Structure 1
């Protein structure tokens, strides 16, 4: 713990914490969208559990430095590109993110709206499982950045914990904002598509600078916020495949359809 009295260590901690927060934006977006599928009373719990798992996964990866380095050893070659274990994780994670985002966009724009009793929605365990899978992929960039910027394990762990606590505080506000503005939700899903492509690119040694991605995300959100300020029309209504409708409403609908 000698780093506590070292000014350079504190500078490294602040810098690394900031980077961890920035690199965790995509994780927060994914967790917020996944949690929104659950009943309202479980959404906050899902976000906290998801971010908590992200924190423990990142700390565990920090302690498995040797294993991480082993992931960089080439396993085979495809079209002149050496593919390592890390590359495979990034490629599979990118493909999963593209598939998941595409399905979400289709469901929100062209899916069918049905009452919750008539259709089984996402379960808490399934949502957490999907969050856990993407946490591993998202954590790789974060941990590799941490390993490259700091030498003391204490600094890296502290930065991860501070960043996750920060994201826990603001994840609910981000989630509410995304849910209340359908066009922002579509943008968020588009960002996940973009991040999925970037992950595949990294896995194939075709690196897309993160600065370009985050600038595009920030610029798009800024333009959409200006649009929301200017527009006077009602916002677009997205489909809700798992509506929580009261039994009385369902009964009245079924009675009216029978009468007709």
Structure 2
């Protein structure tokens, strides 16, 4: 199983795949941060840990069922002259769910403090509902990740090890990212907009319209840089005002 340990090319594949899994996990962390932020403070670490653990277990199970996963790309039926596969259906449903969820969160954010506090209190009593929602989207996010892994590595152990590395990094990053998003309302709104964008990409992918992920991540990175500059400018302005 570990015959690749002496193969430099396999180590390069492991490194590349690990980085890719971490990048592909960014949207997962954003989604987990948004949902866990609506729970009670004591429940938030549990939601993040269970959510990421669920993502890890889902990906491992899918990797161990590679032959089944690859059958998902085979056409099931045809609609308007286009073949629809199991993967397409999963991406469509997952993308629509993500768009709906993010849109509802934006709506609650814009309703006002009272409505938001009521929604937060209600969500605070539903840790396992939140974890269930996270795991549903994990399946969608994991599907593309696993198919990508199959295309980049030949050994299942390399794929699993890359996911372990990605999980460790995401566990370390989940709490700081969640706390940062909670401290800055504009960042939270931006994160919700990212989820709508990601959901739209999933729907487009499910309908056979491939959008290179590099474009999406470049747009997200640019937006984050602009927002960080805004936060820094605001902090500098507040320091100047306080010093007067």
TM (norm. structure 2) is 0.92
CA contact (8 A) 2:70 2:147 kept: no
CA deviation profile, 1:9-50 (whole Å, cap 9, x unmatched): 111100000000000000000011111111001101110110
Match of 1:101? 102
CA contact (8 A) 2:54 2:135 kept: yes
Match of 1:148? 151
Cα separation, partners in 2 of 1:33 and 1:137, compared to 1, 3 Å: same
Is the partner of 1:221 in helix, strand or coil? Answer: helix
Q: Distance in 2 between matches of 1:202 and 1:78?
A: 15
Match of 2:241? none
Which of 143, 168, 173 does residue 170 from structure 1 map onto?
A: 173
Q: Distance in 2 between matches of 1:117 and 1:87?
A: 33
Q: CA deviation at 1:80?
A: 2.4
Is the partner of 2:38 in helix, strand or coil? Answer: coil
CA contact (8 A) 2:39 2:120 kept: no
Q: Distance in 1 between matches of 2:199 and 2:112?
A: 23
Q: CA deviation at 1:174?
A: 0.5
Would you tell me which structure has more helix in proportion to its own residues?
2
Match of 1:89? 90
Q: CA deviation at 1:111?
A: 4.6
Which of 208, 214, 230 does residue 211 from structure 1 map onto?
A: 214
What root-mean-square deviation, in Å, do the aligned CA atoms of Structure 1 and Structure 2 show? 1.8
Q: Distance in 1 between matches of 2:5 and 2:159?
A: 13
Aligned residues: 234
> Is residue 2:205 matched to residue 1:198?
no
CA deviation profile, 1:117-138 (whole Å, cap 9, x unmatched): 9963340110000001000000
Which of 101, 114, 122 does residue 120 from structure 1 map onto?
A: 122
Which moved further from structure 2: 112-121 or 207-216? Answer: 112-121
Q: Distance in 1 between matches of 2:161 and 2:62?
A: 14
Cα separation, partners in 2 of 1:5 and 1:194, compared to 1, 3 Å: same
Could you list the structure 1 runs, at least 4 aligned residues long, displaced by more than 3 angstroms after superposition: 114-119
Match of 1:255? none
Cα separation, partners in 2 of 1:153 and 1:118, compared to 1, 3 Å: closer
Q: Distance in 1 between matches of 2:119 and 2:75?
A: 50
Match of 1:77? 78
Q: Distance in 2 between matches of 1:105 and 1:74?
A: 36
Q: Distance in 2 between matches of 1:220 and 1:105?
A: 18
Q: Distance in 2 between matches of 1:24 and 1:113?
A: 33
CA contact (8 A) 2:32 2:51 kept: yes
Match of 1:157? 160
